[in-house]
Chain A
């Protein structure tokens, strides 16, 4: 589904991303982990054509992301709160996204009814603009909005951060279901090794812009990741 070839991104002389080859098959739940500055958000921004690569390309379903806009019809994302239109109510925001993706109000309502639990009664029918919701609720709205319109690719940047425990558990179930039942390619980045191990069938570890591990998730994965990240620190101290 997603194919990355010789992708690099440099700022001045500093290389922040260098991916020679990465293939993500359709329907895979893909996890991206790494320390700060590893290049996770950069990769997602390149994938969504929000920044230009210094070299190389990304293809989504055979469409070059920087050359055509066709991929936008089946791709959905939520990166940060800048993806929200603060002066709309959550309902208006959902309907707006729905219209952009060719879904009418009834379709959107049908989808939203699946997330009543997730919303916990704090998002719909509140008579508040998005800007007046708490940060956690804003994030919930943004994440659900990315599910509108039956996308084939969903990109979520650190979706678990700043969510309360109940929401995190529910979100994990939602993402797993999306990938397994509906064949959606879900890309998730996170700082939480436990979450990512539970949700994703494949985990890629980035360090300073390069892939250092590419694992199919198993029972041993969490310990493997922990020792990797733990080891890094101690070896750094020895030097």
Chain B
């Protein structure tokens, strides 16, 4: 039965209409995966020696146990964002002589072979080998390894139970930060205490039964949950939230783009994926902290140009590059209606302009790190307004992949293709390069001035540029309609 299901899923993947593109994407992801595993192996081998050097006189095994809690929370967070929940189209199977139990066991069992379950192993198996070579008792080490594998599996199933529930995520993050703060301010030696607990897994192998039990329990909870859902009306039982009709009368002052503006605002607010994008973009304002707080960059380092473009343009990139695919579900209708394409694009461009301004205003506090940071962000914002918005809209015209608005944004790769990676070159690399060259050969002030100038010129000519882009959208209309009607993937 397992083989039969695996066969079905294999065929589904290889026969999907967007195989070519998704294959390239998968190959890219596989390379990333291999790279990450190689890093983990090296880290695993080196972990012992690093810990010995960093904390002399302390048993490295003890240190690992102390930090193990953070490892668990970190792995859980990674899985929460990136791991796809096991999904299988069960409708056609419900009428066949296939036991519902088999379906559930297959789905859960297959998830046990997911890449994420091997991350912990790739790190800790080399570590364990080093331990054994260094003379630690073999049985204890092996049992500890087994316990770690069970914990990893438990996290796997725990992640499914959490099921992308945002509240739980926030709860976990708060716990993580709270623990870290308690340790940092030395109020209570949490790390030590919990470390002793995990160390028991190693010193008293019998404790390994606990992770094993937890793994079994989480598996069983998932099994029960899924088993109850294998009915056609499983999704109907979910409550239908009451819909609010919104007027958005204030948009009328924008004239002919008003109906599209209203539509876009409702699009963003009423659909999971776009709504999450907005929150993610706002959260990304904190991205700058990583860079500004590092002392190794000078105050005018080129990396800050990247940060400036990124922070002020995050919504532009996330939302802009998938225009018009956001409307892919009803693109047919829009094209058959008497809509002026220019107004349609104007409304979208307008939203992006607003987002750039808002993100810039939110980034003003970064002046704490020096006025240069503020100046760079300002120049980058103007550059985004004038140059990058048309660039993003231009790349958007190459979109042919349908997007399902109802699916969540986290880890959602729908609509993505190699274009999404290519677009980064002109969008982010080009201005950084420009900035770097000008700053190196002439001066920091000139670099900023040139970026700002390009932005102003672009913005001044935006009508002409948008007209050209409108023509491109018209030409690409048939390809888009055909592509958007393909529902798979």
Please report A residues at the B interface, Cβ cutoff 8 Å.
Answer: 48-52, 69, 72-73, 75, 77, 79, 82-89, 91-92, 96-97, 99-101, 126-129, 131-132
Contacts and interface: CB of A to CB of B under 8 A. Distances in A.
A85 B330 contact: yes
Chain B interface extent, by class: 20 to 34
A50 B336 contact: yes
B329 A96 contact: no
A96 B335 contact: no
Contacts of A127: 242-245
- B interface secondary structure, majority: helix
B240 interface: yes
Interface of B: 240, 242-246, 258-259, 262-263, 266-267, 270-271, 329-333, 335-339, 405-406, 478, 481-482, 485
A101 B338 CA distance: 7
Contacts of A72: 336-338
Contacts of B267: 87
Contacts of B482: 51
A100 B337 contact: yes
Nearest to B338: A72
B401 to A, nearest CB: 15
A209 B123 CA distance: 63
Contacts of A132: 240, 243
Nearest to A71: B338
Given A100-B259, A101-B338, A127-B242, A82 B405 contact: no
A82 B336 contact: no
- A interface SS class: loop
A129 B332 contact: no
Nearest to A77: B336
A101 B336 CA distance: 12
Nearest to B327: A85
A99 B257 CA distance: 11
A50 B481 contact: yes
B188 to A, nearest CB: 49
A96 B243 contact: no
A73 B270 CA distance: 29
Contacts of B478: 50-52
Contacts of A82: 329-333, 485
Given A84-B333, A85-B330, A87-B267, A73 B245 contact: no
Q: Which of B258, B336, B339 has the most CB of A within 10 A?
A: B336
B485 to A, nearest CB: 7
A84 B338 contact: no
